[in-house]
Chains A and B, each alone.
Chain A
Amino acid sequence: AQSVTQLGSHVSVSEGALVLLRCNYSSSVPPYLFWYVQYPNQGLQLLLKYTSAATLVKGINGFEAEFKKSETSFHLTKPSAHMSDAAEYFCAVSSASGAGSYQLTFGKGTKLSVIP
């Protein structure tokens, strides 16, 4: 079975500071990994994805994430936070669950607040 752990349900950063949102996963097979963002009263929007190509993945809005197999981590970073980055962020893992099917499992989410 696969699982995702997001460390910190709520993270606060100052505007202009580094954003670091942590995600660790467990999967018995090579995973696909995703970060989604959810703005208030909206659906989820894909930020970036890892699908076994480059380990450093660049996404939209200046975010990037690095896949570290040895640490089973896929942390999300952004060098300089903007007020518009305030949202909830979800890490997700997708891996084969047999018979050609896949399961996408989400972490519980991290709410990012940006302080002016």
Chain B
Amino acid sequence: IAGITQAPTSQILAAGRRMTLRCTQDMRHNAMYWYRQDLGLGLRLIHYSNTAGTTGKGEVPDGYSVSRANTDDFPLTLASAVPSQTSVYFCASSSHRGNEQFFGPGTRLTVL
């Protein structure tokens, strides 16, 4: 079934540890995105990529990095996790920026 997969589904992480959240899409979409969802704040864009090989910063990029080596994969890395990064993380993709975005099932991350 075409769509977006995210891994892991959930994770508990000690503060200071490095963590990579994985995202893969099989729709050949050019654009991909990472959001975090926090109660009362809605979804906030962390980083985006318009096409393979390019990335950009969103609303809340600090403490996160991304790479886009190919069309399908868009991993999000927390170099040194902090408790304020406890959140639900959603990956999304679209055929180009401006079109509707398709979302993955999310990763629930807890940083202790």
What residues make up the interface of A, taking CB atoms closer than 8 Å to B? 9, 32, 34, 36, 41-46, 49, 90, 94-96, 101-104, 106-109
Contacts and interface: CB of A to CB of B under 8 A. Distances in A.
Contact of B42 (A32, A43, A49, A90): A90
Interface of B: 4, 33, 40-45, 50, 56, 90, 92, 96-106
Nearest to B43: A106
Task: Name the prevailing secondary structure of the A interface residues.
Answer: strand
A45 B103 contact: yes
A101 B97 contact: yes
A41 B106 CA distance: 8
Given A42-B105, A43-B90, A9 B40 contact: yes
What are the nearest 7 A-B pairs in CB distance?
A102-B98, A43-B103, A102-B97, A108-B42, A44-B103, A106-B43, A106-B42
Contacts of A102: 96-98
A58 to B, nearest CB: 15
A46 B43 CA distance: 15
Nearest to B35: A106
Nearest to B97: A102
Most buried by B among A9, A42, A95, A101: A101
Contacts of A106: 42-44
B82 to A, nearest CB: 23
Contact of B101 (A104, A107, A108): A104
